[in-house]
Structure 1
Amino acid sequence: MIVAGSTYGMQLLWVLFLSCLFSGILMFVYGNYTLITGETALFAFKRHLKWGKVMTILIIIGIAFGQWNSLMGIMGLSSNIIYEIFAIYFPNVAQYKYEVVLGIAIFVTIIFYALLLVGRYTFFEKILVFFVTVMGFSFLISLLLVYPLPSEVLNGLIPTIPKVQGGKMLVAAFVGTTMAAATFLSRPLFVKGKGWTIQNLKQQKRDAITAAILVFLISASVMAVACGALYHQGKPVTEVLDMVNTLEPVAGRFAMTLFFFGTLSAGLSSIFPILLIAPILIADYQSGELDTSSRQFKSITAFACLFALIVPIFGSNPVEIQILSQIFNVFVLPLVIVGIILLINNKKLMKGNKTGIWVNIGLIAALFFSLVISYNGILALVNYF
């Protein structure tokens, strides 16, 4: 969002809007399916769909690969942001940048792995709520200080793709970020973790709508702040340091620090669910139940933590890696959408709870959108490599 806002202004707001709209629909139908049938997604794919076992394995591999690649970029971004905050107030650390960034990454990894070992969903939820709340308020307050023109916001809702190098890549990365398949597939387990039953159908619906709206508002705020503060300066963000050099003269040290804490909270709030996603999907495939105290859970999350350190260890540009990694998240979207369309339209499974025509139209539109974005992502990767 920061790169898009600083490079293209509000031009990609339409992509964000569609991604959040379809995300809301998919969160709703995945949650409803679980409340009505008692089954989680991948377990149901394997059990009820022809070729479901192969389909499920492909989904797990695709999502784990995409999410762990994202984790590398996010850990690189988060550790670099913490370093830049230190560097603002303690300039002497600049000469030890690599060592400090790597040390921060290792420290953050150890803390998050220790939190995972607590192993309770309600605890995970409280950690995420804290980080997301800090992120949301940081960017919304920043938006009061630096903001785009209303005409830019309106023009951003008109579908266009920047006809420049990297434009297609950023569109695919947008969708990979806000319409990630991992969100929908993990929702059934989180719904069960909250103790919801078929009596909570209305609450589940409100929850999905609220989630989609908040994702749009917070993400749009991030893009708008970057547009208002950076885009009109003609200095797009390509590295973490770019945010410091361009934002401080425009918004002052307070706004810059606020912006950084928002970005850091975005990163830290993403690390937690990404570490969880592979064991969640595997547990879903095996039994539909997640055991956070099992050796399998601890081993997989430990491997993911080590994987997260690749970018800090090699000193790669975390901004570039993060954008590239998000593209891989779009390729399993079509499978995930087709699977749930088949399940929720199975009258026997849904126990007489008919899926509305508008929901089906929304899912078909989401499928078409995911196919277009997947094709766009392939073109972007071919051009990149």
Structure 2
Amino acid sequence: MLETKEKNTLLKKIIAIVLGFGPGIFAIGYTIGTGSVTSMIVAGSKFNMQLLWVLLISCLFSGVLMFAYGNYALITGETALYGFKKHFKQGKVLAILIIVGITFGQWNSLMGILGISSNIIYEILAINFEGLSAFKYETVLVTAIVIIVVFYLLMLVGKYTFFEKILVIFVSLMGVSFILSLCFVQPLSVDVVKGLIPTIPDVPGGKMLVAAFVGTTMASATFLSRPLFVKGKGWTIKNLGQQKKDSITAAILIFIISGVIMAVAAGALFYQGKEVTQVLDMANTLEPVAGKWAVTIFFFGALSAGLSSIFPCLLIAPLLIADYQSGDIDTNSKQFRIITFIACLVALIGPVFGANPIEIQILSQVFNVFVLPLVVLGIIMIVNSKRIMKGYKTSLFVNIGLYASLLFALIISYNGILALFEYF
């Protein structure tokens, strides 16, 4: 009886910790979607753990940027784009460029996310109902329509806490699923260590994957939306310490979950000389090693990653526009409903044309890097203005991190341009 009580208490504590997670859960939702999963799996299958260093640096800079944007919001009470427009001479132009760039990247990503999620559901159904294989296109399309309609209807509920709780569930399921998958297959320890030494694979598609890695891990949407989610949480200047912990926790969890996904792909695919080109490739090679149960766990993790990203991707355009207009978002407004409806229609383009969602996803992540330098430059200017920050001085460590982030973002953007020239 006592044992049962102790177990219940422990379970309650774990649930409380998970549900107590702050705005960082949105950072994980934005960052580890099917874009990240796809990039990590393709990288792991092609290059083993060689790109682990890119992931580590991206997560380190992501933590610094989340912290800087969150602090700015708590100290000034303002959101990012509204602040750019209000405080800088060319702030309106900067803000509009950022809105267009991020919306383009996120809506492209949404196409890939919906395509991959629908394909995963189809593959799970096809395992159990063999007759479905003749109707792949129709099944995937109908599944995509059902998913996006359900998510649009959930969007109309329009409460921050509601979105947060749903994301907590999906992100938790995703993390557990991929960690369980790692129990079946692991890369060699020496390859993990080698992966921390900076090198870019000198093969076709190497530059593309590096850019995609940064595009998905250092996601501009994550940083720009942070002030809105910090405000949505009800945090004030009294929560500066909590905001710092939340940023660090989010960055660490992003690194761990993403690293685990890459490790699973390296262990299951790279050593067998197999690469990922289709959705089913992601899990099929686990089957000989661990059976259909492992395939189901892996698919479940990838599906949770996809579903955890749909909310943030649908939210991004209305969030940014509301941010630009006033710094506040009304999820019950007509503007919010129209913009999210347009995003839902855009999401269906990939499934309607039967495009390969893996390619769409990686390309969309590459496009995300081009707006990143503007987002980093904007926050550097803001947090170093004593007038805007009301006398609060940004530490030397944070400034070093921000300037290093800017340099890294510029290098990766240049790398992304080269990658796109190679691709097209």
Find the counterpart in structure 1 of residue 243 from structure 2.
204
Find the counterpart in structure 2 of residue 9 from structure 1.
48
Q: Distance in 2 between matches of 1:321 and 1:366?
A: 26
Paired amino acid for 2:178: F
Shift of 1:338: 0.6
Which one of the candidate residues 101, 126, 137 is aligned to 1:98?
137
Q: Distance in 1 between matches of 2:76 and 2:360?
A: 40
Paired amino acid for 2:203: V
Paired amino acid for 1:256: V
Which one of the candidate residues 353, 358, 370 is aligned to 1:319?
358
Q: Distance in 2 between matches of 1:88 and 1:8?
A: 29
TM-score (norm 2): 0.90
Find the counterpart in structure 1 of residue 298 from structure 2.
259
Q: Distance in 2 between matches of 1:177 and 1:129?
A: 19
Find the counterpart in structure 1 of residue 210 from structure 2.
171
Find the counterpart in structure 1 of residue 410 from structure 2.
371
Instruction: Indicate the percent of aligned positions where both proteins have the same amino acid.
Output: 71
TM-score (norm 1): 0.99
Paired amino acid for 1:170: L
Q: Distance in 2 between matches of 1:317 and 1:152?
A: 30
Do residues 280 (structure 1) and 280 (structure 2) align?
Answer: no
Residues 366, 416 of structure 2: 8 Å contact kept: yes
Paired amino acid for 2:46: T
C-alpha offsets along residues 335-376 of structure 1, whole Å, 9 cap, x if unaligned? 011110010011111122110011000000000000000000
- SS of the residue aligned with 1:349? coil
Which one of the candidate residues 159, 170, 174 is aligned to 1:135?
174
Residues 80, 240 of structure 1: 8 Å contact kept: yes
C-alpha offsets along residues 31-64 of structure 1, whole Å, 9 cap, x if unaligned? 0000000000000000001211100000000000
Residues 337, 366 of structure 1: 8 Å contact kept: yes
Find the counterpart in structure 1 of residue 99 from structure 2.
60
Residues 229, 251 of structure 1: 8 Å contact kept: no
- Aligned residue-pair number: 385
Residues 145, 251 of structure 1: 8 Å contact kept: yes
- SS of the residue aligned with 2:289? helix
Unaligned runs of 5+ in 2: 1-39
- Once the two structures are superposed, the pairs formed by residues 153-192 of structure 1 within 5 Å of their partners are 153-192=192-231
Find the counterpart in structure 2 of residue 246 from structure 1.
285
Moved more, 174-183 or 245-254: 245-254
Shift of 1:13: 0.4
Find the counterpart in structure 2 of residue 340 from structure 1.
379
Q: Distance in 2 between matches of 1:334 and 1:137?
A: 34
Shift of 1:213: 0.2
Residues 10, 153 of structure 1: 8 Å contact kept: yes
- SS of the residue aligned with 1:350? coil
Paired amino acid for 2:232: G
Find the counterpart in structure 1 of residue 328 from structure 2.
289
Shift of 1:230: 1.1
Do residues 88 (structure 1) and 120 (structure 2) align?
Answer: no
Do residues 122 (structure 1) and 156 (structure 2) align?
Answer: no
- SS of the residue aligned with 1:348? coil
Find the counterpart in structure 2 of residue 358 from structure 1.
397
Shift of 1:243: 2.5
- SS of the residue aligned with 1:165? coil
Q: Distance in 2 between matches of 1:206 and 1:30?
A: 14
C-alpha offsets along residues 74-113 of structure 1, whole Å, 9 cap, x if unaligned? 1111100110111111111000000000000000000100
Do residues 25 (structure 1) and 64 (structure 2) align?
Answer: yes
Q: Distance in 2 between matches of 1:380 and 1:352?
A: 43
Unaligned runs of 5+ in 1: none
- SS of the residue aligned with 2:328? coil
Find the counterpart in structure 2 of residue 299 from structure 1.
338
Paired amino acid for 2:374: L
Q: Distance in 2 between matches of 1:309 and 1:22?
A: 33
The structure 1 segments of at least 4 consecutive aligned residues displaced by more than 4 Å after TM superposition are none
Q: Distance in 1 between matches of 2:283 and 2:214?
A: 27
Aligned-pair Cα RMSD in Å:
0.7
Q: Distance in 2 between matches of 1:87 and 1:231?
A: 26
- SS of the residue aligned with 2:142? helix
